[in-house]
Homo-oligomer: A and B are copies of this chain.
Amino acid sequence: MIMSVPYKTYLEESQLPKAWYNLRADMKTDHRPILNPATLQPVTVDDLSHVFCTKLAEQELNNTDRYIEIPEPVRDFYRMYRPSPLVRAYFLEQALDTPAKIYYKYEGGNTSGSHKLNSAIAQAYYAKEQGLKGVTTETGAGQWGTALAMACGFFGLDLRVYMVKCSAQQKPYRKAVMETYGANVIASPSDTTEVGRKMLAEYPDSTGSLGTAISEAVEDATTHEGYRYVLGSVLNQVLLHQSVIGLEAKAAMDMLDEYPDTVIGCAGGGSNLGGLMCAYMADKLKGKSAPKFIAVEPASCPSLTRGKFAYDFCDTGKVTPLAKMYTLGSGFIPSSNHAGGLRYHGMSPILSQLYHDGYIDEARAVEQTKVFEAAKLFAKVEGTLPAPESSHAIRVAIDEALRCKETGEKKTILFGLTGTGYFDMAAYMAYNAGTMSDYVPTDEDLARGLKNLPKID
């Protein structure tokens, strides 16, 4: 096969970004302030510092510094698994017989199996630097918990992960990976917190929920000296750390003299898409010509395509601050779509604002079996077995490439392959067996979730 550019392009380690890019500094309209739920006033660094590390609280509210230096120990750690490769999907192009050029940025080549490590190591570093004993978090599917376990293991920080009980039972191996890195994994609801004990007293057979796990992790952190709570998506600080994806991707594309016509990412909380698109979004915010940006979400949890742009809690337990974002309502219970990382009722406030203002051109909801169809084709021709989350982006990249085949356009498509599906084989088994369903919520389902939104303008 004639390969005009390398199949994989790696930056030199000396070309790795030395600073994260803070998209907010360039946004025409900043996202609406995050509100303290008790006072309904904008949260301050001081408010947030009780829950988050101080440096991270500052990053959360920073909308002025365009670049924020990546601390040297974080850059050292990044060298273990970064730069991640920019891949020209020659074999996928061939299989589709498309004139389009398809590139993807592959973030799954580390043991956490996803891009989550980019923010986990940063958050662990700031906790260490602040002299904390440890951090707490929650995890559903387990990717974030694994990434954080690796990061805390590296810096010698204590970590307590509240893992949704049914996940902990269904995924004992994910739990084992976290424990191997030294994390303490607690099935939620647990008897170690007030919230957990109350839940267990009321529902002794509860298999848990992400909402309860968040509440437990926050309570644990705020009631123990020397601990803070950390979170793997949605937050501005997480999008900031994930900017390494987009900065690297653009640098590698520049080396190849390529500029994408279309940038595609899956969107659950929004951190991966926010990271991937940031360097090109900078062009758009400056009024230059820029790619078309497409956010892809599951049809079963369609916050951008069918949600409301409104203030809402970031968690189902209603203990977190309020953010203005696209939401299905914090009470919305997504169906058991297998892409656990995309089952979130809301969306990053930054991405929500950009979508609302038309900077993100399109949001597209895709059905699960179509996603796995794309995932299997991708695995077969490009080798890597993709995560269900990432496969949402693959689906749309394929659809765009097939459209080019019809029109004859030679578009350049860039998408984010955020992770691998090695711990998601139950979902593949359901697809292979033909038992996977394409549940899409009805308008009535959505109305139920949206009717209790807080009344804040």
Contacts and interface: CB of A to CB of B under 8 A. Distances in A.
A457 B8 CA distance: 51
B111 A420 contact: yes
Interface string A271-304: 0000000000000000000000000000000000
A452 interface: no
What's the number of copies of this chain in the assembled complex?
Answer: 2
Contacts of A172: 425, 429
A76 B91 CA distance: 10
Given A7-B13, A376-B180, A432-B180, A383 B76 contact: no
* Interface size range on A against B: 35 or more
A381 interface: yes
A126 interface: no
A6 interface: yes
A439 interface: no
Contact of A176 (B109, B179, B381, B425): B425
A13 to B, nearest CB: 5
A385 interface: yes
Interface in A413-457: 420, 422-423, 425-426, 428-429, 432
A175 to B, nearest CB: 9
A382 interface: yes
A380 B154 contact: yes
A374 to B, nearest CB: 13
Contacts of A182: 380
19 contacts: A1-B76, A3-B76, A6-B12, A6-B13, A8-B13, A80-B91, A80-B383, A81-B383, A109-B109, A110-B383, A110-B384, A111-B379, A113-B422, A176-B428, A176-B432, A177-B385, A177-B422, A180-B379, A181-B380
Query: What 7 pairs between A and B have smallest CB-CB spacing?
Result: A173-B425, A7-B79, A176-B425, A153-B380, A80-B383, A176-B429, A111-B385
